[in-house]
Structure formats: structure tokens, C-alpha cells
Amino acid sequence: MKDSKLTNELKRYSVDVNDSLATIGLNMDLKEFSKITELHWHDFFEIEMVTGGTALHHQNNETKEIRPGSLCFLTPTEIHQVEPLESYKSINITFNDSWIPSDFLTLIMYKEQSVLYLSPDSFEFLKAVSKKMLEEFNQENPHRLIYLKNLINCILSEITRYLPPKNELSSKKELDVIRQALTYLYCNFRNSPSLHDVAKIAGLSDNYFSEVFHKATKQTYNRFLNDLKLQYAYNLVLHSDKSITDICFLSGFNSMTHFQREFKAKYRCSPSEKRLKGR
């Protein structure tokens, strides 16, 4: 269902240099709160499994109720806000791309929604794995990182059951290439990296990288990059009070004319019209 326009100032949650997310690329904790969060996005991935209470999850101009049995999986491109209806509890896992298997990362682009409603069996399984992972995270056992890596792989593998099927890439090399490219794009799309820049990071020629990227995404590199910018801009238009001009440049576009044209082509209306409709 549609939600009313959220007027909180948009916040960016970045990695704290003193946090384990900065040192090993992973952080875990138990959350419990009863007040609405800030409207925010973050430069890392997040899994939040609801274990108690109910809340409204605001994202992409939609509001979904989350409760025990719900799981939120968020990428760095997504702006959201959680509004508890009662005391809200969850297991929260934040991590960078080094914890994500290559084949799983290629599935993210097909993710149709951030809130998943788990079956009872999936919920009990993931709750048990998450609790074991939290226990391991808070200790200094031998081979701790290997153990944690395998546990998070269990969680991510279960999540794939709720994602649409994808076309298989033909080799591990291609999977690794797409993983590097998508990770870089999700975190840097606002800086408009060129195909050459990303191909260089992946260690491929421009032509071969373009071929592999199109094979995986069914889109050209420039189209995919543009869609990331537009998705981010769309969220800002509906969920922030920033001016359309600010949104244009915050989303990585270099001119208002280009931004307005691309936005209208994708959403069939201008940013200003979309904001008015969303109110």
C-alpha cells in the first residue's frame, strides 16, 4: 500500500572506522526499539530478520508491515525507514561485498522487493543460523571468520529461494567479473564510473567486459548504470524534501535536462509530477 510522504532528512549510514564492519567487513547485533528510524541509505548490505513486534517498512513509496517471519534484505542503493507499531526486535547483519558469493551477487539485480515473508520452516532455520552466527561473532574462537563465512552463506542460500531465477553465466571467471562490477556500481554509481573504469577494475578489455555484462544483466552497461541512478532519484523524489535540482546531482546526473528526460522516459512523468502524485 502507498504511504504518506516521509519528510525526515535523508541520512547516510557509513562504516564506522571503529566498527567490526570496517575491520572484517561484518557486523551483527540484536536490535530493539520503539521509535521510528531516520530515513536513510547505507554504503553496505543489510539483512534484518524480525523476531518480535510489528513495524511498518517504508521504501519506494510503499509501506509493508513486517513482523516475526519477515526478513529485509537491502543493498546500498535503497532508501528506507522502519516505523515500529510496538516494541520491535530483530537480528541485524551488516556486511560488505567480500562476504557475498559471486553467484549470489548476480541474483541481486533480479530482486523484486526488499521485504521477504518467510515460510515457517525458513524462518525457524534462519533464526537458528543467525543466533549461532551472533554467538560466534561475539567470541574469539579458532577459525572464527571461516565459520562465520559458512553461516552467512547458509543465510544467503536460503534467501535465494525467494528470488526470481536467473540465466546462468558460463564460467566462474564471468561470475567473478560480474561480482566485481556490480559491487563497484552499487557503491559508486553516483560518481558515474565509465565502462572503461569498471572493465579495468575487473581486469578485462572494454569489449569483453561489455559482452559479459550484457550477458548477465540483459542490459548495456550504460543502461544499467542509468537505471541505478534513476532508482535512487525516484526514492529521493518521493521520500525526501530535497529539491529536484539537488536530487539530479546527488543521483549522479550532470545536467537537469538529461535527468528530466531520462526520468520521464522511465516513469512516464517528470520528477515534479511524480512528487505531486506521491503526496
pLDDT tens sequence for the chain (279 residues): 333 344 445 565 655 545 666 688 899 999 999 999 887 877 788 999 999 999 999 886 688 999 999 999 988 767 788 999 999 999 999 998 888 877 777 676 666 678 999 999 999 999 999 999 999 999 888 899 999 999 999 999 999 888 766 655 556 677 677 777 887 888 889 999 999 999 998 888 999 999 988 887 888 999 999 999 998 898 888 878 889 999 999 999 999 999 999 999 999 999 999 988 875
CA 22 to mean position of chain CA atoms: 18
d(CA 219, CA 224) in angstroms, rounded, equals 6
Q: Residue 28 pairs with which residues in a beta bridge?
A: 93
Do 19 and 144 have their domain in common?
yes
Do 251 and 201 have their domain in common?
yes
* pLDDT value of residue 168: 55
Do 140 and 180 have their domain in common?
no
d(CA 156, CA 126) in angstroms, rounded, equals 10
Q: Which residues touch 27 (CB under 8 Å, ≥6 apart)?
A: 19, 20, 21, 93, 94, 95
Place of cell 560480474: 178
d(CA 175, CA 221) in angstroms, rounded, equals 16
Q: Which helix (H) or strand (E) holds 235?
A: helix 221-239
Reduced 3-state DSSP string for 157-220? HHHHCCCCCCCCCCCHHHHHHHHHHHHHHHHHHHHCCCHHHHHHHHCCCHHHHHHHHHHHHCCC
Identify whether 66 is part of a domain: yes
What is the spatial order of strands in the sheet that 70-74 belongs to? 26-33, 88-95, 45-52, 70-74, 115-117
Helix (H, G, I), strand (E, B) or coil at 13: strand
Do 19 and 140 have their domain in common?
yes
Does the pTM of the predicted model rise above 0.75? no
Last residue of a domain, one of 160, 182, 211: 160
Identify whether 30 is part of a domain: yes
Do 59 and 131 have their domain in common?
yes
Q: Cell for 278? A: 506521491
For residue 134, give the amino acid letter.
Answer: L
d(CA 166, CA 178) in angstroms, rounded, equals 13
Identify whether 43 is part of a domain: yes
What is the residue-wise DSSP string for 51-114?
EES-EEEEETTEEEEE-TTEEEEE-TT--EEEEESS-EEEEEEEE-GGGS-HHHHHHHTT---S
Do 142 and 175 have their domain in common?
no
Q: Do 252 and 214 meet the contact criterion of CB atoms below 8 Å apart? A: no
Do 28 and 152 have their domain in common?
yes
Q: How many domains does the chain have?
A: 2
Q: Cell for 229? A: 541512478
Angle, nearest 10°, between helix axes 120-137 and 144-160? 160
Last residue of a domain, one of 129, 160, 191: 160
* pLDDT value of residue 4: 37
Last residue of a domain, one of 160, 194, 210: 160
Do 174 and 156 have their domain in common?
no
Q: Cell for 125? A: 532455520
Identify whether 90 is part of a domain: yes
Assign residue 25 the CATH number of its domain. 2.60.120.280
Identify whether 3 is part of a domain: no
How large is the C-alpha radius of gyration of the chain?
Answer: 19
Do 274 and 215 have their domain in common?
yes
Identify whether 120 is part of a domain: yes
d(CA 198, CA 189) in angstroms, rounded, equals 11
Do 143 and 101 have their domain in common?
yes
The dihedral built from the CA positions of residue 138, 139, 145 and 148, taken in this order, carries a sign that is negative
Identify whether 4 is part of a domain: no
Identify whether 5 is part of a domain: no
Domain ranges, residue 57: 11-160
